[in-house]
Structure 1
Amino acid sequence: MLEKCFKLSENHTTVKTEVLAGFTTFMTMAYILAVNPGILAATGMDQGAVFTATAVASMLGTLCMAFFANYPFALAPGMGLNAYFAYTVVIGMGYSWQTALTAVFVEGIIFIILSITNVREAIFNAIPVNLKAAVSVGIGLFIAFIGLQNANIVIGGATLVEIFSLNGYNLANGVEATSQDVGITVLLALVGVIITAVLVVKNVKGNILWGILITWILGIVCQFTGVYVPNPELGFYSLLPDFSNGISVPSLAPVFCKLDFKGIFSSNFLVIIVAFLFVDMFDTIGTLIGVASKADMIDENGKLPRIKGALMADALATTAGAVLGTSTTTTFVESASGVSEGGRTGLTAFTTAVLFGLSLFLSPIFLAIPSFATAPALIVVGFYMLTNVVNIDFNDYGEAIPCFICMAAMPFFYSISEGIALGVISYVAINLFAGKSKEKNISILMYVLAILFILKYILL
């Protein structure tokens, strides 16, 4: 049945490989179950209800990806989008969280229309092949940077970012952390990178997942021996699952179907929707390009087969997520971790979706996975995606310079969508003014995108 449903042989994979890849993807993105409720709670939303909404929206969206597109991509409420939801729309602009959910809902409906009419697919196909490779590389750098930050290996400082030091960390964060909380976690993360790298070099099956688990277990050993001392006030919690409150699923009622359509015709509300649309659309397209490139799913014409199903899954997940009570649900870049483990079909996504469902009942286990244990996975996945740099034609500066801008922008500006925007603008502008637009056969849609991106920077 699995063979018929997911076409495993056709995609040169096995059930074991796909399930392992699904576990790996889930482990690298399980942090969203803890982080998303915490961010949205700042708006006054019930944290327990948002946890349930996050898990259910992730499960439904990832199931849609599995069966609509048969791709190994997972979905969940997106980082960055949830911060924009909470800190900009609600806290900054003064809208209620109910109105913000409505904006996400409207965005999802618009995406469904754009997916049905092939607009999003056309945008994907319009991006040149070299720029697609650059998006993959940029995402790799971005993922690695996130991993370094999550582990506090990289911290803020006088030079904007700098390598970890205890004094530097305390100064940047205004706290009094010690070597027994933040210090040992940084060391464990570095050890985790080495362990994961050794497993990769030795070609151990499930190397990324094993890297996460071994690093977590080492942390638990450190906690038992007193080398690591939890400090909840600074965000360093016990590494042991906490079942003190038993096993229960928090009610969705406080946030379910709480849409508020008052004031949706105001100019400010339109700006909010446009911002959600922009970030989500190009984050999703960038993620699909990057992860699909790594999995060799993009054909010789630079197109992704069955992309319509993938985009529709993303659109439906966003709409359903708003009704459930969470911010924009989107394709997660951490899907690359499962792809790196060999995931090639929707069975990987199906496995991840099942785990999101189980997380509702086993949340103490999944929420106990520390960021220093998943950070090595993100760093190594970043390396995997960086290897696509060899597919960029650096002998043609009209291709290479926009690709460089795209790659650099993603980690430096902390945004996949900004990297795509600057890559598209620079690609069109450089080749147009260099008189090579006809030679490059730049499509009309690329010109339209470049103009829209420029207007976005001017108006938003």
Structure 2
Amino acid sequence: MGFFEKCFKLKQNNTTMKTEILAGLTTFMTMAYILVVNPSILSTTGMDSGALLTATCIASALGTLCMAFFANYPFALAPGMGLNAYFAYTVCGQYGYGWEVALAAVFVEGLIFILLSAVNVREAIFNAIPTNMKKATSVGIGMFIAFIGLQNSGVIIADPVVCVALGEIKSVSVALSLIGIIITLVLVVKNVKGALFLGIIITWVLGIICQLTGIYVVDVEAGMYSLIPQGIISAPPSISPIAMKLSFEGIRILDFITVIFAFLFVDLFDTLGTLIGVSSKAGFIDKDGKLPRIKGALFADAVATTCGAALGTSTVTTFVESASGVSDGGRTGMTAFTTAMLFLVALLFSPILTTIPSFATTPALVVVGLFMVENIRDIDFSDYTEGFPAFMTILMMVIAYSISEGLVFGVISYVLLKLLSGRTKELNPVIVIIGILFFIKLISG
């Protein structure tokens, strides 16, 4: 106990070991899907799926431990969604590179991030983002993760005519996710400790009961997997088929630079967006709009990406689901430490942990979205040069399905409105440079 108090300063941060551990459990439960999804996506490149599970667990644990000890923040890291899809479907699929070359690109990206963090470039970008946009980022992320939760459970589905539509409400998984949301909210209203974590477990147990009674029917082709673990402990698959397999052979230099830039861009602004949003919710950002110990947090992200590539997985980044642990009271690196340990435990207990269905994590994601949207009342919408960029940041994060794209539209509109309104004195030189780079990125596709 003394070791953890000394490392994470629990009393100074007005938290307890119990609260931090519960928050870590909640964060892990909302992130556990990555143990299934990441190997599923990356294995389409020919990588060994068993080795990918092991690499995902180790890389996530390593990155999250770095966050715990470098920055003492309750943020967890894992291979990023979107970045893994770009790795598999664009770099390997569209460009035709082998996965070994794609890993090399991720490795180089990580090294560049370490350099940018060392010379405070990433910190300068964080500090340059206006206060109202920081608050808007928190709101946008809240909307975004609630949308992801509803989509994962089938409440919202893709539609060729209107892009998205309401799913089949009579579906068992959809009904269970909606019931789980109500149960979780009731627990929150009653101030039950670990409400989000309990909401996940209760929803999962209800699903198991439905399967045992025949209400929930297993149909793998339809995505209805068994909710009952088929074992308890299993030895982790070997990582040797993919670890340290980086290759620079057959690289077309211009394509390789494009690939690295794409990884850099998405990772940089997804990470900054997540740090801004979750930190705003947790109250970590100071009166000047700065995040104390941000350098340690950015270093953790950069080191995790570099080591993750060496282990054999795509870019490791700070996860927006960290907001679930923060909402459950997590305030220090003890939360991250707990989550990291659970990723290591998952190596042995994967039959249980990978059985957690997406409809069971939906309630936590939706309720966290509700918590984060509360920050909208602190945004100054009376000044349209501040309010419109904030509005665009929130809107585009959801409809473009990207945290970084939300920041792109928010920053560009902020810079243009300030310039055209003759209020150039309110512009930070860094935000102007970012706006120009964003505009070039936008028009170049």
Residue 165 of structure 1 is matched in structure 2 by 168
Tell me the TM-score normalized by structure 2.
Answer: 0.98
1:395 is aligned to 2:382: yes
Distance 1:165 1:291 in 2: 32
1:222 is aligned to 2:210: yes
The amino acid across from 2:374 in the alignment is: T
Matches within 5 A, 1:62-77: 62-77=64-79
SS of the aligned residue for 1:330 comes to strand
Q: Which of 51, 54, 65 lines up with 2:53 in the alignment?
A: 51
Residue 146 of structure 1 is matched in structure 2 by 148
- Farther-moved stretch of structure 1 (152-161 vs 292-301): 152-161
The amino acid across from 1:269 in the alignment is: F
Residue 207 of structure 1 is matched in structure 2 by 195
Residue 122 of structure 1 is matched in structure 2 by 124
Question: Contact 1:259–1:323 at 8 Å: present in 2 too?
Answer: yes
Q: Deviations over 1:249-284 (max 9, x none)?
A: 100011000000124461011000000000000000
Distance 2:387 2:81 in 1: 29
1:456 is aligned to 2:444: no
Q: C-alpha displacement at 1:233, in angstroms?
A: 1.3
Distance 2:115 2:378 in 1: 34
Distance 1:223 1:366 in 2: 18
Residue 327 of structure 1 is matched in structure 2 by 314
Residue 173 of structure 1 is matched in structure 2 by none
SS of the aligned residue for 2:78 comes to strand
Q: Deviations over 1:408-453 (max 9, x none)?
A: 0001000000001111111000111111222xx2110001000101
Distance 2:33 2:163 in 1: 26
Residue 271 of structure 1 is matched in structure 2 by 258
The amino acid across from 1:437 in the alignment is: T
Question: Contact 1:263–1:269 at 8 Å: present in 2 too?
Answer: no
1:262 is aligned to 2:244: no
Residue 336 of structure 2 is matched in structure 1 by 349
Residue 247 of structure 1 is matched in structure 2 by 234
Structure 2, unpaired ranges of 5+: none
Distance 1:425 1:200 in 2: 38
Q: Deviations over 1:167-186 (max 9, x none)?
A: xxxxxxxxxxxx6xxx1001
1:363 is aligned to 2:350: yes
Q: Which of 254, 258, 282 lines up with 1:295 in the alignment?
A: 282
Residue 184 of structure 1 is matched in structure 2 by 172
Q: C-alpha displacement at 1:456, in angstroms?
A: 1.1
1:3 is aligned to 2:14: no
Q: C-alpha displacement at 1:221, in angstroms?
A: 0.1
Q: Which of 436, 453, 459 lines up with 2:423 in the alignment?
A: 436
Q: C-alpha displacement at 1:247, in angstroms?
A: 1.2
Percent of aligned positions with the same letter in both sequences?
A: 63
Q: Which of 83, 95, 102 lines up with 2:97 in the alignment?
A: 95
Distance 1:215 1:105 in 2: 39
SS of the aligned residue for 2:348 comes to coil
- Number of aligned residues: 442
Structure 1, unpaired ranges of 5+: 167-178
Distance 1:242 1:129 in 2: 49
SS of the aligned residue for 1:13 comes to coil
The amino acid across from 2:436 in the alignment is: I
Residue 39 of structure 1 is matched in structure 2 by 41
Residue 447 of structure 1 is matched in structure 2 by 432
Question: Contact 1:54–1:326 at 8 Å: present in 2 too?
Answer: yes
Distance 2:191 2:238 in 1: 44
Residue 237 of structure 1 is matched in structure 2 by 225
Distance 1:136 1:397 in 2: 19
The amino acid across from 1:30 in the alignment is: A
Distance 1:89 1:446 in 2: 30
SS of the aligned residue for 1:103 comes to helix
Q: C-alpha displacement at 1:76, in angstroms?
A: 0.1
- Farther-moved stretch of structure 1 (228-237 vs 70-79): 228-237
Distance 1:84 1:233 in 2: 25
Distance 2:62 2:378 in 1: 35
**What is the Cα-based RMSD across aligned positions, in Å?**
1.0
Residue 171 of structure 1 is matched in structure 2 by none
Q: Deviations over 1:61-90 (max 9, x none)?
A: 000000000000000000000000001110
Q: Deviations over 1:123-167 (max 9, x none)?
A: 00000100000000000000010001001000122321111138x
Tell me the TM-score normalized by structure 1.
Answer: 0.95
Distance 1:318 1:235 in 2: 31
- Farther-moved stretch of structure 1 (152-161 vs 225-234): 152-161
